């Protein structure tokens, strides 16, 4: 009797393992990706509502972050303290990146718009990027590649898209993404010319090559993660939570 129960137990465990593996492969499009668990080393409160996108300032001495509720860009310290702010006329801000010391670029989800602005909040250039007409599934993240003078923009889902624009915001390329449930933030690393793509619903950040092909992944146990930046010098990354209104700091290998 004990032997039979033991066999039944082993069979149940094996079936459970196979189901979990198939679910993992389904989420990552069948790819064999080693998903690592980075170490959470700290977190700080953010003192504005619904923080979404985040980026380093041009000289890396602080962050720029945005709130889609207040339609404001905030300059914040590495510990989340507000240092300055820029009020915009743009609606539903979701992503931000620094272009140079005088200009930023933002994405507006509902309007499917990318805008380049100065530090006074004036729009220098803007363009509508046609993706879909599904409410709350539009543009989410943006990053800038200074060596090539191009932007990479994410469409959240239905479909998930990696969109490449030139410096004038003209469309260059579009690639459909299918390795996560959605796509909420993107960061370009000059260290190895990689793109890091954060997924809110999958609770993972994916390291990709410049074409958007996944190379590795990291779990992020953060409620509603919507912003990501990477510090390769110190092997840490920062994740912004919209719902918790906090910034989380992870150490990775």
Query: How many residues comprise the chain?
Result: 253
Domain chopping of the chain, boundaries:
1-32, 33-251
Q: Taking residues 90-111, what's their average pLDDT?
A: 92
Which residues 6+ apart lie within 8 Å of 29 measured at CB? 178, 179
Give the other-Cβ count within 10 Å of 96's Cβ: 25
Q: How far is 163 from 131, CA to CA, in rounded Å?
A: 10
Nearest to 195 by CA among 145, 161, 148, 131: 145
Q: How far is 234 from 217, CA to CA, in rounded Å?
A: 18
Please state, rounded to an integer, the average pLDDT across all residues of the chain.
88
Nearest to 152 by CA among 110, 205, 105: 105
Q: Which CATH class is domain 33-251?
A: mainly beta
Q: How far is 76 from 81, CA to CA, in rounded Å?
A: 5
Of 86-100, 121-135, 171-185, 206-220, least confident by mean pLDDT is 121-135
The tokens describing 55, both together, are 């980026």
For residue 29, what pLDDT band results from cuts at 50, 70 and 90? low
> Token match 């409160």: residue?
45
Q: Taking residues 21-26, what's their average pLDDT?
A: 38
Q: What is the pLDDT of residue 136?
A: 65
For the segment 123-173, what is each residue's pLDDT rounded down to a tens digit?
999 999 988 767 667 899 999 999 999 999 999 999 999 999 999 999 999
User: Strand ranges (DSSP E) for 88-203?
Assistant: 93-98, 103-108, 113-118, 123-128, 139-145, 150-155, 160-166, 171-177, 185-189, 194-199
Question: How many CA atoms lie less than 13 Å away from 115 in the CB half-sphere?
Answer: 21
Q: Taking residues 211-238, what's their average pLDDT?
A: 97
The tokens describing 63, both together, are 């962050």
Between 27 and 96, name the one with better pLDDT: 96
Please report, for residues 42, 151, 185, 197, 202, the alpha-carbon distance to residue 48 in angstroms, rounded to integers and kept in the order given. 19, 27, 19, 24, 25
């Amino acid at each position: 009797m004990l032997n039979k129960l033991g066999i039944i137990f082993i069979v149940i465990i094996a079936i459970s393992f196979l189901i979990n593996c198939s679910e993992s492969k389904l989420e990552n499009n069948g790819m064999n990706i080693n998903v690592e668990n980075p170490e959470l080393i700290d977190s700080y409160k953010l003192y504005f509502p619904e923080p979404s996108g985040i980026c380093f300032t041009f000289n890396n001495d602080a962050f720029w972050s945005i709130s889609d509720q207040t339609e404001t860009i905030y300059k914040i310290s590495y510990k989340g303290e507000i240092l300055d702010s820029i009020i915009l006329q743009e609606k539903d801000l979701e992503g931000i990146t620094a272009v140079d010391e005088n200009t930023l670029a933002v994405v507006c989800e509902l309007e499917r718009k990318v805008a380049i602005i100065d530090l006074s909040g004036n729009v220098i250039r803007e363009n509508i990027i046609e993706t879909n007409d599904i409410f709350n599934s539009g543009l989410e993240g943006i990053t800038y590649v200074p060596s090539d003078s191009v932007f990479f923009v994410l469409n959240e889902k239905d479909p998930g898209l990696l969109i490449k624009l030139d410096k004038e915001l003209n469309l260059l390329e579009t690639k459909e993404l299918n390795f996560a449930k959605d796509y909420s933030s993107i960061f370009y690393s000059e260290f190895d010319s990689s793109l890091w793509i954060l997924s809110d619903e999958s609770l993972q950040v994916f390291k990709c090559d410049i074409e958007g092909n996944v190379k590795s992944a990291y779990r992020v146990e953060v409620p509603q993660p919507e912003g990501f930046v990477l510090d390769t010098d110190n092997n840490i990354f920062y994740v912004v939570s919209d719902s918790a209104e906090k910034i989380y700091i992870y150490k990775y290998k």
